[in-house]
Homo-oligomer: A and B are copies of this chain.
């Protein structure tokens, strides 16, 4: 066995390479070779070889001071993710319209397991400080987008989530199953999810589901505002209109609304 290959030898080659990529996260966006080796559980020799291959390919970039960052090639690849940039590109005009109408923080999120991942976020410059970011994650039960996504999951999966441990972030976070069940029923009834002071004590979000071509909920859009003075009845129609606009752009076709006939049939008399 060559020196330095020991620590990684029990793991497969793909696992070791992916461990190098996984060494980078929001708290560690810039790493030295030594950092990467330690965080990936690899010897310096193995880390050097794998980082070299990733850098040559463009997945990592080395700056003038020898620090490694995530590279442009991964950005280009990520642009192909149907639940990432591709969805965001379709949604962006509608998110901009929602921002124009409210001048508050506007978000688009998708579900990944028991969490939401934010794939777009337009910042209101005077808006409440928001503890989220593009690529950031939160559990479903705390956020407006998470509740909107969870409420439209199949009933059995919803029940599994309701019975799982519900981490509280503030005294207002939904932390018990009966309350979560009631809130999810309310979300389905009203078409919007409201998360008030459940992530931070100063913020409130109003979210609505985004549907794909077949009608399945694929994402959620929300507005986050300061909780003090939040006008939920004013925000609700704007968020719903934006969510329906994105859904239509994705190919969703709503059921025909019932309406009174505007064209009198033959043989009818008009007053």
Contacts and interface: CB of A to CB of B under 8 A. Distances in A.
Contact of A80 (B18, B53, B135): B135
Protomer copies: 2
Contact of A70 (B70, B80, B93): B80
A134 interface: yes
A83 B61 contact: yes
A85 interface: yes
A110 interface: yes
A171 to B, nearest CB: 30
A153 interface: no
A230 interface: no
Contacts of A123: 93
A69 interface: yes
B69 A80 contact: yes
A161 interface: no
A236 B77 CA distance: 33
A84 B75 contact: yes
A14 B46 CA distance: 11
A59 interface: yes
Nearest to A84: B75
A6 interface: no
A53 B15 contact: yes
A135 B72 CA distance: 9
A76 interface: yes
Interface of A: 12-15, 17-18, 21-22, 24-26, 29-30, 49-50, 53-54, 57-59, 61, 69-72, 74-86, 89, 92-93, 96, 99, 110, 112, 117, 119, 122-123, 125, 133-135
Q: Which 5 A-B pairs have the closest CB atoms?
A: A79-B135, A75-B84, A13-B13, A78-B78, A14-B53
